[in-house]
Amino acid sequence: MDHDDRLTIGRLARLSGLTVKALRHYDRVGLLRPISVDRDTGYRRYAPDQLERAREIRTLRELDVPLADIRAVLDGELELRDVLAKQSAAVEAETYRLQRMGHRLRMSLREEEEEHVMAQKNDRDDVITPEEHRAVAVQLYNEVWTMLENVNRSVEDDDRLVHAAHASRYHWGEIGGPEQLAIGEWQCSRVYAVLGRGEPSLHHARRALEIAEGPGLPDWLTASAMEAMARASAVAGDEAEALRWASAAKAAADAIADAEDREVVMGDLATLPIGAP
């Protein structure tokens, strides 16, 4: 190879879209070594045919694929499809984790901001007190989101997921107001959507919307229920209805007064398994 054909590290960085710092790191870990390094200056030189490997590395790093998996793909030890499927599952799990955190934060804030009128503790041991109903409802609600993060659930795990969502909704039904009931129905709908069961997902989404449209309830509640209708319709195979509800949910979300509430709903809309409304 003519030395004039070799690429400097700066030129390779510009042509590949990688940074010089990243190229130096990939040299150190053996992912993309230069063909020569000047003994006196330490300048690295790369062959022109290494540009394609550099671009492939950049593309996979933009998808947050670990360096070890990138090396295995480029060296032919792993299939690209398998690595992408693995990364997709990891991203999906992280998305559910962040959604769960957002919903838990919102509920915790509302618990701090609102005063709840609770009945006096009943001395009878066989009666569940309002405080106990609330504690179990919150615990199960959070447990559902934790289980949704697990992308390797068994059939038994899926059954437990359904039962936990319904149990949470039951306990909210004993002591909660319309807002808590709508949220409980919304979560049941989400669980069935994740499990690919369109009919029960639609049923609970409709119930969430019916409750959310009641008087005096926060504006984000209706937008969330519409998002549930869009998701459930998509799972049921009705693309036209899914797009219609997604459009309605987007319009309702745009009108949410509180910026944080609006961000939460928009985050859910962004995960709908349909095209942009």
User: Where do the structural domains in the chain lie, given as residue ranges?
Assistant: 3-62, 91-269
Sheet order of strands, 44-46 included: 7-8, 44-46, 36-37
Per-residue confidence at 275, pLDDT binned at 50, 70, 90? low
Per-residue confidence at 122, pLDDT binned at 50, 70, 90? very low
Give the whole-angstrom CA distance, residue 16 versus residue 39: 25
Q: End-to-end CA distance of the chain: give it in Å, rounded.
A: 54
Q: Which amino acid is at 86?
A: K
Q: What is the pLDDT of residues 223-237, one digit of tens each?
A: 999 999 999 999 999
Per-residue confidence at 94, pLDDT binned at 50, 70, 90? confident
pLDDT at residue 263 greater than cutoff 80: yes
Does domain 91-269 correspond to CATH entry 1.25.40? yes
Check residue 121 and give its pLDDT: 46
Check residue 3 and give its pLDDT: 56
142-150 contact pairs (CB < 8 A, 24+): 142/100, 142/104, 144/168, 144/187, 144/191, 145/96, 145/99, 145/100, 145/103, 145/104, 146/100, 148/96, 148/100, 148/190, 148/191, 148/194, 149/93, 149/96, 149/97, 149/100, 150/93
Residues 121-139: what's their mean pLDDT?
76
Per-residue confidence at 111, pLDDT binned at 50, 70, 90? confident
Q: What is the pLDDT of residues 157-168, one digit of tens each?
A: 899 999 999 999
Q: Which fold has domain 3-62?
A: Multidrug-efflux Transporter Regulator; Chain: A; Domain 2 (1.10.1660)
Residues 128-140: what's their mean pLDDT?
89
Taking residue 114's Cβ as centre, other Cβ atoms within 10 Å add up to: 9
Taking residue 253's Cβ as centre, other Cβ atoms within 10 Å add up to: 24
Q: Name 46's bridge partners.
A: 7
Q: Do domains 3-62 and 91-269 have the same CATH topology?
A: no
Q: Which amino acid is at 212?
A: A
